[in-house]
Amino acid sequence: MNLEYKNYTPNGNEIVISRTNYFNKLKGFWLAQCIANWTGLITEMDKTGNVGKLKTGPFYTRNDWGKPFFEYGVLHGDPHLGNYSVQKKDLSINIYDFGCMRIFNGNFIQGVIDLYFALQEKDNSKAVHAYEQWGFTDITKEKLKVLNKWAGFLYSPLMEDKVQKIQESDSGIYGAQIASEVHQELKKLGGVKPPKEFVFMDRAAVGLGSVFMHLKAEVNWYRIFHELIEGFNSKKLMENQQKALNSANLSI
């Protein structure tokens, strides 16, 4: 195979990766990982965690999986197992493939938290306000009922203070059924225009759910979530976010 590249001169603010070195490394483990990403194959790296006889410790820790979102408003939108690896020494997580990232406004993340408590308290007015923070408009009682069916499924592991799987079934069929029902019911009601942030976060949530299902993770999701959102401050998040963007010479 012959690869042709156009000449390019870095401007001084970039991380330069040698094409020659990268091409020479595209074999063995890394080639296998590329194939795994392209085909969805399950690899040995995917089995990191306490699965069967393999005891390597937790894949995610309570300080890792939600910290970028609730402290910086940043989310990785493609969290399948091919995009993670774990350091054996300290179980820290490496994240790959940053081509699918999104930066969120603090108000949106406040809406994520508000919707959780609205569902827990069965407070419809608070739920409407939360959806509006997400960017939804024209939320009727009928549409709210359907949206809450989706949200109830998504937030269900966070509702009870107990150790449990991310979903009782190890199959994704139930989630697909819920998604289909929500789609059909909203269509009958004239549909809704989901904000871009919603689409991206839903994708990430489904991806993470698949990861936890595959790893057969059983933890207290309720406590992890509450620890992550404790003391949440939208203004503080925006300050953290701006500092991070400045350090990377990025702007939004």
pLDDT in tens, 104-156: 899 999 999 999 999 999 999 999 999 999 989 889 999 999 999 989 988 99
Residue 28 domain-assigned (yes or no) = no
- Tell me, what's the pLDDT at 35? 45
| Global confidence as pTM | 0.70
- Whether 157 is covered by a domain: the verdict is yes
- What's the domain range around 174? 103-247
Is residue 176 situated within a structural domain?
yes
What's at 78, amino acid-wise? D
Q: Is residue 125 part of a domain?
A: yes
Q: What is the pLDDT of residues 203-232, one digit of tens each?
A: 777 777 777 887 788 889 999 899 989 999
Number of domains in the chain: 1
Q: Give long-range contacts, CB 8 A cutoff, 24+ apart: 221-226.
A: 221/157, 221/158, 221/164, 221/166, 222/157, 222/158, 222/159, 222/160, 222/161, 222/162, 223/62, 223/161, 224/62, 224/66, 225/66, 225/116, 225/158
- The answer to whether residue 107 sits within a structural domain is yes
Report if residue 95 sits inside a domain: no
Answer yes or no: is 16 within a domain: no
Asked if residue 234 belongs to a domain, the reply is yes
Is the pLDDT at 59 greater than 70? The verdict is: no
